[in-house]
Structure formats: structure tokens, C-alpha cells
């Protein structure tokens, strides 16, 4: 089995002597900044004036403009939206990097697809938590953590891996497990996971189930509970005990249905299409299309987003969640719900 590292395997002194700039204070940014700070590291956040700036000030972290934060720091973690990173890197980060600094990412996209080309005299590493930023923060506060991958693209100082591991420990990943990867593996598996399974796969599965029931004349509210709401309850069981742990808790009737009908819905045909999705990621086709979509100001992204928000499952879901205060409470508590 691949070696999984935990807190006791990691020395973090190397990072205690350095200043860390977190560029961006969104989903990942706020979690990294606050977790690192509470782990005893010296953190500055780099931002423009606006919503995130105000939130960071309110949270009590040191906030500077992006160029000033980079100038002060030894380690620069780029937690801006992927599609904006190349321009901000070129104009505000690169001119302020010094030899021996480290440039870090939470996703390998821009390095792997050559949208950011760092100078040779800096370390380049990634620490990619395998979970949404809000959970990186929430689990840390609960004394737990989200697992993370780390990888080194460029080792100018000879210390890149040591610094990356100390960083991963600082965000709390050492409580859950840290695995070594490459920028290529992280980028391709992350894109595949979110497209085929975690985001694209699951939303399409839920919608197809909901539509099948409502088109057959069943009540939308019943279809919503069955196909969307209950997903969380099942996923919690999967998270805790794997497939068998989930199957232990469901009825034998449900388990028999799982065995005989699951493979009728997701089967070799589905896998063949998953392989197509993976091929588009590996060849760079997905990356190219997404970069062009952004250059054109996102016409398809916006159109699809509008259409998706008008789907019946969203309308009925909004009404039902209003009536479930405990569900609303969760997102209220978080304040800033992730919207993408
Ligand atoms: P978000 O969209 O949540 O946050 C982006 C942040 O960047 C905001 O604080 C925003 O501030 C700031 N920002 C945007 N434009 C500028 C600018 N021109 N100058 C200064 N600051 C700016 O990003 P994510 O946390 O989702 O993603 C960050 C990275 O983490 C990406 O590489 C992503 O792939 C990776 N990642 C994300 C995960 C997630 O959970 N979302 C999971 C694992 C990895 P403002 O309020 O001013 O707009
Ligand atoms: Mg991911
Ligand atoms: Mg991703």
C-alpha cells in the first residue's frame, strides 16, 4: 500500500521559520489561512479590496494587497479561482517572487497545463485537500481533518517536499492522511473525480432519478426526498464504512435491489463514457475548452447555469428545505455557501 503520512511522521520546524502568503480568501483560502494560523504559523493573506478582504479583516488575519503579501512571504499559496490565476500570477505574483521562495497550489491545473510558468529558482509544490474548503475548516475546528495530496513539481532549494508536508500538517491534513502525488496525477484525477463522480456524476444521477419518477406521475416532493435529500444519509454511511458499511444499514430488500439494478443503470456503457471523459482530460481537450470558455466570458457556463437553476428539482427543493430548519441551519452557520 502507498505510504500514508500522519502528524507524527512530519517535522514542521522548517515552515515555522517562514512567512506564508495565502492569495485568495474563498473556500480554500479562508480554511488554509485560519488553520495554519491556529497551527502556529505566520500567515498573511493577499487580496484586492472587496468582500473577501472585509471577511479576512473580520476574522483577524493580516491582510495586504497581493504584491505586498508576496513580497513579505517565503511561501506563496495561490488560492484564487483557477481561471484567474495566470493573469494575477503574471502581473502581481511573479514580479515579487524571490529566489528560494516557494510557489504553492491546491490544484495542479495551471502548472500541468502550462498556464503558469514559474522561474527555475523557486520551489513549486501542491497541497491539495481532498474536500471542499468549508469542510477543511469545519473538520479542523472539530479536531479532525480532510485528507490531502502533496506533490513537488520543482525543487530549487532541496526542501520543497519538507515544506509541503509541513504545510499539509498545518492545514490539518495530517490528522486524516497525506499522500504523495505528482501535479499530473492530482490534476487528472481531481478533474475526473469531480466530473464523472462527485459533481457531474451525482447531479446527473439524481436528476435522472427525479425525472424518471415525476414523468411517471409520482409527486415531485416524494421524488425529491427519495433521489436528493436521502443521498446525504446514504453517503454518510459510505463515508463511515465503505460499500459494506452502507449495505449493513439498509434493508436486505434495498441491498438486493442495489445488487441487481445498480449495474443496469451504471454499467460498461457508463464506464466507456467515463473513459471518454478521462481521455479529454488527459489530452488537454477539457482544459483548452474551459480556458477558451473563460476567454469568451463564459457564454455556455452562464446559459447552462441558468437552465439548471430552473429545473423542477431545484424549485421543489427550495420549498422543502424552507420547511426543514435543521437543513437550513447548516448553510446559515457556514454563512458563505460554496456556489461552484
Ligand atoms: P474561491 O472562488 O472560493 O475563492 C477565490 C478567492 O480569490 C476569493 O477570496 C476572491 O476574492 C479572490 N480573488 C478573485 N479574484 C481576485 C483578484 N483579482 N485579486 C485578488 N483576489 C482575488 O476559490 P476556491 O477556494 O474554490 O479555489 C481556490 C483553489 O483551490 C483553486 O485552485 C481550486 O482548484 C482549489 N481547490 C478548491 C477546492 C474547493 O473546495 N473549492 C477543493 C480543492 C482545491 P474576492 O472576494 O475579492 O472576489
Ligand atoms: Mg477536488
Ligand atoms: Mg477540483
What is the pLDDT, as a whole number, of residue 330?
56
Query: Does residue 24's CB lie within 6 angstroms of at least one atom of ligand 1?
Result: yes
Ligand at minimal distance from the CA of 110 is 1
Residue 52 labelled as part of a binding site: yes
Per-block average pLDDT, block size 10, for the chain (340 residues)?
93 97 98 98 98 98 98 98 97 98 98 98 97 96 97 98 98 98 98 98 98 98 97 96 97 98 97 98 98 97 98 97 80 41
CB of 63 sitting under 6 A from ligand 1: no
Query: Ligand 1 centre from 23 Cα, in Å?
Result: 8
Query: Which domains are assigned to the chain?
Result: 7-181 (3.40.50.720), 199-266+298-334 (1.10.1040.10)
Q: How far is the CA of 323 from the centre of ligand 3 (A)?
A: 32
Å from CA of 148 to ligand 3 middle? 13
pLDDT at 236: 96
* Distance in Å from the first CA to the final CA of the chain: 34
- For residue 222, the CA-to-ligand 2 centroid distance in Å is 31
The minimum-distance atom of ligand 1 relative to the CA of 25 is: 9
Residue 80 is predicted with a pLDDT of 98
Q: What is the pLDDT of residue 284?
A: 98
190 annotated binding-site participant: yes
Quick one: pLDDT at residue 339? 37
Q: Which three cell numbers stand for residue 282?
A: 488527459
Is 107 part of the annotated catalytic residue set? yes
Residue tagged 511573479 (cell numbers): 94
72 is in an annotated binding site: no
92 CB under 6 A from ligand 1?
no
Nearest-angstrom CA–CA distance, 96 and 111? 18
Q: Which ligand is nearest to the CA of 132?
A: 1
User: Atom 17 (ligand 1): residue with closest C-alpha?
Assistant: 48
Closest CA to 127 of 178, 64, 198, 73: 178
Instruction: Calculate how far, in angstroms, residue 133's C-alpha sits from the geometric centre of ligand 1.
Output: 10
Rounded Cα distance between 121 and 100, Å, is 6
Using CA atoms, how far residue 147 sits from 114, 173, 188, 199, 205, in Å, is 26, 5, 18, 19, 26
Cβ(122)–Cβ(111) under 8 Å? no
What is the Cα–Cα distance from 317 to 304, expressed in whole angstroms?
19
Beta carbon of 52 within 6 Å of any ligand 1 atom? yes
Beta bridge partners of 126: 105, 151
Atom from ligand 1 closest to the CA of residue 28: 25
Neighbours of 281 (CB within 10 A): 19
50 lines ligand 1 (CB under 6 A): yes
Rounding to the nearest 10 degrees, give the CA dihedral for residues 133, 138, 139, 143: 140
What's the grid cell of residue 185? 496525477
Q: Is 230 annotated as a binding residue?
A: yes
As a residue count, the chain comes to 340
CB 21 within 8 Å of CB 45: yes
27 lines ligand 1 (CB under 6 A): yes
What predicted TM-score, i.e. pTM, was given to this entire model?
0.93
Amino acid at each position: 500500500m502507498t505510504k500514508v503520512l500522519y502528524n507524527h511522521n512530519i517535522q514542521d520546524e522548517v515552515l515555522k521559520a517562514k512567512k506564508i502568503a495565502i492569495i485568495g480568501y474563498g473556500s480554500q483560502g479562508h480554511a488554509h489561512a485560519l488553520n495554519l494560523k491556529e497551527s502556529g504559523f505566520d500567515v498573511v493573506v493577499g487580496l484586492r479590496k472587496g468582500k473577501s478582504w472585509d471577511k479576512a479583516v473580520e476574522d483577524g488575519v493580516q491582510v495586504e494587497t497581493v504584491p505586498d503579501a508576496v513580497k513579505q512571504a517565503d511561501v506563496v499559496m495561490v488560492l484564487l479561482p483557477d481561471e484567474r490565476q495566470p493573469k494575477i500570477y503574471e502581473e502581481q505574483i511573479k514580479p515579487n517572487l524571490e529566489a528560494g521562495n516557494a510557489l504553492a497550489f491546491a490544484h495542479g491545473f495551471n502548472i500541468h497545463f502550462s498556464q503558469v510558468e514559474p522561474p527555475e529558482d523557486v520551489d513549486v509544490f501542491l497541497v491539495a485537500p481532498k474536500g471542499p474548503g468549508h469542510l477543511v475548516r469545519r473538520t479542523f475546528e472539530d479536531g479532525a481533518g480532510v485528507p490531502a495530496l502533496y506533490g513537488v513539481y520543482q525543487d530549487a532549494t532541496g526542501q520543497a517536499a519538507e515544506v509541503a508536508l509541513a504545510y499539509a500538517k498545518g492545514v490539518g491534513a495530517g490528522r486524516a492522511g497525506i499522500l504523495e502525488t505528482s501535479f499530473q496525477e492530482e490534476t487528472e484525477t481531481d478533474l475526473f473525480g469531480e466530473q464523472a463522480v462527485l459533481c457531474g456524476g451525482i447531479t446527473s444521477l439524481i436528476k435522472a432519478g427525479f425525472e424518471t419518477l415525476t414523468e411517471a406521475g409520482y409527486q415531485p416532493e416524494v421524488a425529491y426526498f427519495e433521489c436528493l435529500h436521502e443521498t446525504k444519509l446514504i453517503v454518510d454511511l459510505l463515508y463511515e464504512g465503505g460499500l459494506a458499511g452502507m449495505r449493513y444499514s439498509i434493508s436486505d430488500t434495498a441491498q438486493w435491489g442495489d445488487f441487481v439494478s445498480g449495474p443496469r443503470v451504471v454499467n460498461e456503457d457508463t464506464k466507456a463514457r467515463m473513459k471518454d471523459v478521462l481521455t479529454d482530460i488527459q489530452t488537454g481537450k477539457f482544459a483548452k475548452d474551459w480556458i477558451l470558455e473563460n476567454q469568451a466570458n463564459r457564454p455556455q457556463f452562464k446559459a447552462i447555469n441558468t437552465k439548471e437553476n430552473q429545473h423542477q428539482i431545484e424549485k421543489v427543493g427550495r420549498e422543502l428545505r424552507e420547511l426543514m430548519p435543521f437543513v437550513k441551519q447548516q448553510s446559515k452557520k457556514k454563512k458563505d455557501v460554496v456556489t461552484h
